[in-house]
Chain A
């Protein structure tokens, strides 16, 4: 940790004020665009989308599962530090947790926007259907956000208490509030925090794997009417690509925050460790996707074969080849192949960004292609590309996530206040 930052008067925000102004201005512009589009969405109803009864799920659902995946992935990376005690990862632990919470909030914004009746978003808590994966998911998401918040609290409380005690101004007052009254800075209180952090993490792991992200995969996989999704491997691929995108996000955030906020040097060993993890996940993701594709194509299931045909050669095949295969798999694997590249911060940030973008295409290619071919011969074929309103609302919701993350990063001690394990 940089010597010039006293942990008592720490300043976790941007070190360059002009950069801060430019960043907030950019976010403000995106929020304005998104806000206007959201107004069009609400006043015009679902007519503002390019969805049809043949293709009832589109961009919002794709982004929803994308952000659920990003969240589950970032969370699982955080457990490497706080549950499995992998050395050297503690630095990114809180960052990963906070990013997981923000991603989940964004994911819920997307599902909400996607509802035909946005005013009835509370209905799943009043009425349930025990056989519906979606009914279970809604509850799992709430439980998951609670677990993540609990974890972040126990991970950060010790530093919050120290900032409240020694710091001044808004940040100290906020930190004092967020300690929820537990202001001890003794080693014993710290030990209690760690114990509870680990316990919450242990609850969170099955929740994230089986319920939140596995469950979101199951939500699709149980649709027997869509054979492309209807496979046991499908939820597993869902989790793997979630972990992949989450790891990539954590790398990206680590490099950017260390450089732009802390003005610090990136730890090449930590970067190398994360990069190797990322490479492993890319390989597993490619392998599982290939197995899934081979099993279904070689068994000549007409619906699945036709869906793969749509993905690889249809009018949207560019998203498969350029984004999913290119940005998601090939480009990052090349970037991650050399040891010296893995230790170069900006290259790894680019590789992380590339995966984060590539997985968006993975999610679109999960959601849309099986809804192009009609469920029965003789019904109309679908054709879908998101409308301007769908794109602009998506940009707005992503901007909400970026804003929440930036505010949190500026105010909260997301990086431990001293070197080494906390």
Chain B
């Protein structure tokens, strides 16, 4: 970035821009071959693509482009063309003049309208997640866990937790004496207990159970008394002392994770969650967009599973019912929503 041109950086191959462009061209698929795989007109596709490049180079205006191809595209794609919102004429980020936009045959609607529709349909495909009340649960197969700690790393990367805060850790236990040694690795996220002791003790109800089983923390209400950390039998809660990775990474706090669905912008001194207690949220922000928590997605041994414990046919329910299943500190009566398989 800041290197003077001509001066080679260690480990960077001495390749010029033209060679790199040639490599890109070499890798690119043949347009004609690709487009001929579809049922639609190959020549029209090539022509539109070539002109689109001219638009991006500024040799052709977007208005001219759309006027030129509107009729042809409508003839070729029919209703698909007419009913699909076009990003170029998407209000409010519309890139072409309204006059031209009005004259076009395709629907003048917002791109947001289709993203909302597909999100809604995805949620209902997922099976009654929100409306019928899924209870999120995690099952961790200890036989599959190799102790690589990539869940902890993925968690830190996803949730952008500061130094001293690690929502997920892997507890390692060694049994026996050399050479007869076994090692058990027990990953420990927040247990999202059904009877959470942390919720019971919070003097301001800043931490509470959500309908989906996840224990939430309201960073705008938490006073930082740390009573919940005292009460948690799993040591799953961490205090945000306000430390940063600024010395290690430039702009480490520029982006924060939208935990519990709230985007707080860049990390700032003295602004929440600094001075609050933090913990794993089962990546609520990912669950809400139909993704698995980062630790589940990244697990190399596929040891971690996420699903609806209220659905008796879900994988996690079946695993949680197996004779191998157990919870940590069952005697505490906290009834965790994280199960382990022996």
A interface list, Cβ under 8 A from B: 45-47, 51-54, 56-57, 111, 114-117, 120-121, 123-124, 126-129, 131-135, 137-138, 219, 222-226, 371, 374-379
In the assembled complex, which residues on chain A have CB atoms less than 8 Å from the CB atom of B222?
116-117, 120
27 contacts between A and B (CB under 8 A): A45-B242, A47-B242, A52-B164, A53-B164, A53-B165, A53-B235, A56-B229, A116-B222, A116-B223, A116-B224, A117-B222, A120-B223, A121-B223, A123-B206, A124-B203, A128-B205, A129-B203, A131-B201, A132-B200, A134-B225, A134-B227, A135-B204, A137-B203, A222-B201, A222-B231, A376-B171, A379-B171
Can you add 13 more A-B contacts, CB < 8 Å, to A131-B201, A378-B171? A53-B235, A53-B238, A117-B275, A120-B223, A127-B221, A128-B205, A129-B202, A129-B203, A133-B201, A134-B227, A223-B230, A375-B233, A376-B188
Q: How far is the CA of A123 from the CA of B206 in the complex (A)?
A: 10
Q: B240-272, CB under 8 A of A: which get 1 and which 0?
A: 111100000000000000000000000001101
Minimum Cβ distance to chain A for residue B86 (Å): 48
Q: How far apart are B15's CB and chain A's nearest CB, in angstroms?
A: 46
Interface of chain A, helix or strand or loop or mixed?
Answer: loop
Are B332 and A115 touching (Cβ within 8 A)?
no
Is B223 touching A123 in the complex (CB atoms < 8 A)? yes
In the complex, are the beta carbons of B239 and A45 less than 8 A apart?
no
Q: B217 at interface (Cβ–Cβ under 8 A)?
A: no
B230:A376 contact, CB within 8 angstroms: no
Task: Tell whether A116 pairs with B234 under 8 Å between CB atoms, given A129-B200, A379-B169.
Answer: no
User: A61 to B99, alpha carbons, bound, how many Å?
Assistant: 69
CB-based contact B203/A128 at 8 Å: yes
> Residues of A contacting B164 with CB < 8 Å?
52-53
Bound-state Cα–Cα, A374 to B236, Å: 11
Cβ of B156 within 8 Å of any chain A Cβ, yes or no, is no
User: Cβ of B230 and Cβ of A56 under 8 Å apart?
Assistant: yes
| Residue of A with least CB distance to B276 | A116
CA distance A340 to B275 in the complex (A): 54
- Mark each residue of chain B from 317 to 331: 1 if its CB lies under 8 Å from any CB of chain A, else 0: 000000000001100
Q: Is the CB of A117 within 8 A of B238?
A: no
B277 proximal to A (CB < 8 A): yes
Measured in the bound complex, the distance between the Cα atoms of B275 and A223 in whole Å is: 22
B186 interface hit (Cβ, 8 Å): yes
List of 7 A-B pairs having minimum Cβ-Cβ separation, nearest first: A116-B224, A378-B171, A116-B275, A225-B233, A135-B203, A56-B226, A134-B203
Contact of A378 with B186 at beta-carbon distance under 8 Å, contacts A57-B226, A116-B224, A128-B204 already known:
yes
- Chain B residues within an 8 Å CB radius of A379: 169, 171, 188, 235
Give chain B residues whose Cβ lies under 8 Å from the Cβ of A378.
171-173, 186, 188
Q: Is B237 an interface residue (CB 8 A)?
A: yes
Chain A residues whose C-beta falls within 8 Å of the C-beta of B225 in the assembled complex: 111, 114-116, 134
Cα-based distance from A224 to B329 in the complex (angstroms): 11
- For window 183-224 of B, CB contacts with A under 8 Å fall at 186, 188, 197, 199-206, 221-224
CB of B153 within 8 Å of the partner chain: no
B146 at the interface (CB under 8 A from A): no
Question: Whole-angstrom distance between the alpha carbons of A53 and B203 in the complex?
Answer: 19
B173 to chain A, nearest CB (A): 6
Complex Cα gap A351–B122 (Å) = 74
- In this complex, what residue of B is CB-closest to A135? B203
Contact yes or no, A47 B241, CB < 8 A:
yes
Please give me the residue from chain B that is nearest to A225 by CB atom: B233
Q: Given A45-B269, A376-B235: A123 and B204 within 8 A (CB)?
A: yes
Decide: B234 and A375 in contact? CB cutoff 8 A. yes
Minimum Cβ distance to chain B for residue A394 (Å):
18
- Evaluate whether A129 and B235 lie within 8 angstroms (CB atoms) in the complex, with A120-B223, A121-B223 already known: no
Chain B residues with CB under 8 A of A134 = 201, 203, 225, 227
B residues less than 8 Å from A53 (CB atoms): 164-165, 229, 235, 237-239
Report the bound CA distance from A129 to B198 in whole Å.
11
Q: Is the CB of A129 within 8 A of B230?
A: no
* Cα A132 to Cα B328 with chains together (Å): 24
CA distance A137 to B203 in the complex (A): 9
Residues on A with beta carbons closer than 8 Å to the beta carbon of B200: 129, 131-132
Asked if B276 and A117 sit within 8 Å, CB to CB, the answer is yes
B300 within 8 A of A: no
CB pair B204 A45 closer than 8 Å: no
Complex CA distance for A128 and B200, rounded to whole angstroms: 11
Q: Does B274 sit within 8 A of A, measured CB to CB? A: yes
Say whether B287 faces chain A, with CB atoms less than 8 Å apart. no
Given contacts A45-B269, A115-B224, is CB(A223)–CB(B203) below 8 Å?
no
Residues in B with CB closer than 8 Å to A377 are 171, 173
Contact of B52 with A by CB under 8 A? no
Q: In the docked arrangement, what's the CA distance between A134 and B222, Å? A: 13
Within 8 A of A (CB), among B270-286: 270, 272, 274-277
Contact of B242 among A46, A52, A120 (CB under 8 A): A46
